[in-house]
Structure 1
Amino acid sequence: MTVIYQTTITRIGESAPDALSDNMLITFREGAPADVAEFCFIHNHGALNGALLPGAQFELGEKHYPVTAVGDVAEQNLRELGHITLRFDGQTQAEYPGTVHVAGPVPDGIAPGCILKFIA
């Protein structure tokens, strides 16, 4: 297996944990506009080293989730902005173009220093 993307969460926007109650985790690289950063888990942007496709694995800390669907612009948004919306619902069709769907329970205890990665 190959790590295609890895980054570390550096800070958490004030309203970012609220999205978790809606089964979503929203990321954006450092330098996000303040009105956007408030709703995001901010990270030090890494390089995307491969295609982000269903069948990949998403890892957050020690938790592993299979990727079940990838929206049409999710890979581009991740590459250019470090921005994706992860949905913890296991859907096999992406709900929105920038959404990545994964199967498994919503993570808890996300803190700065937590490592986020995609493995193919």
Structure 2
Amino acid sequence: MKKYYSTTVQELGEQVNAFKGAGMLIMFNENAPQELREYCILHRGNKLEDTVQPGDILKLGDTSYKVVFVGNQVQKNLKDLGHITLRFNANKDGESLEGSLYLEEKPVADVAPGDEIAIYRP
């Protein structure tokens, strides 16, 4: 597999786990606006080298998820701001929220500072 995106978790906002219970996580690079920080996984080293596509694999710490659907602003937002929403629902409702990356439906992994978030092309 070819890794084409990598970043490192720096900090978890106080409300990250509230969203985890709803099957989603919000990512933002470490210079996120103050009003959003408490809801986000804050990360550093936002390196994107290819286009995110269905069928790719997102790895959150040690857990892998297949990418099911890519919102039309994911590429730009991820590259420019490190800001996307990870949705762990297999897009079963047919949503297409612009800044969301829809992943297979399985339990949301715990994430901690120092963990890598990466995307691979199989």
Note whether the superposition's TM-score is higher than 0.5: yes
TM bucket (normalised to shorter chain) is: over 0.9
3-state SS of the aligned residue for 2:76? Answer: helix
2:61–2:116 contact (8 Å) kept in structure 1: yes
3-state SS of the aligned residue for 2:77? Answer: helix
3-state SS of the aligned residue for 2:36? Answer: helix
| Amino acid paired to 2:47 | A
State, as a whole percentage, how many aligned pairs show the same letter: 32
Q: Which runs of 4+ in 1 moved over 4 A?
A: none
Deviations 1:15-66 (A, max 9, x none): 1111001100100001111111110000003221000011110001111110
TM superposition score normalised by structure 2:
0.92
Deviations 1:62-114 (A, max 9, x none): 11110000000011100000011010011275530110000032324311111
Equivalent residues, number: 120
Residue 52 of structure 2 aligns with which residue?
52
User: Deviation of residue 9 (structure 1)?
Assistant: 0.4
| Rounded Cα–Cα distance in structure 2 between residues aligned with 1:76 and 1:91 | 20
> 5+ unaligned residues in a row in structure 2: which ranges?
none
TM superposition score normalised by structure 1:
0.94
Residue 106 of structure 1 aligns with which residue?
107
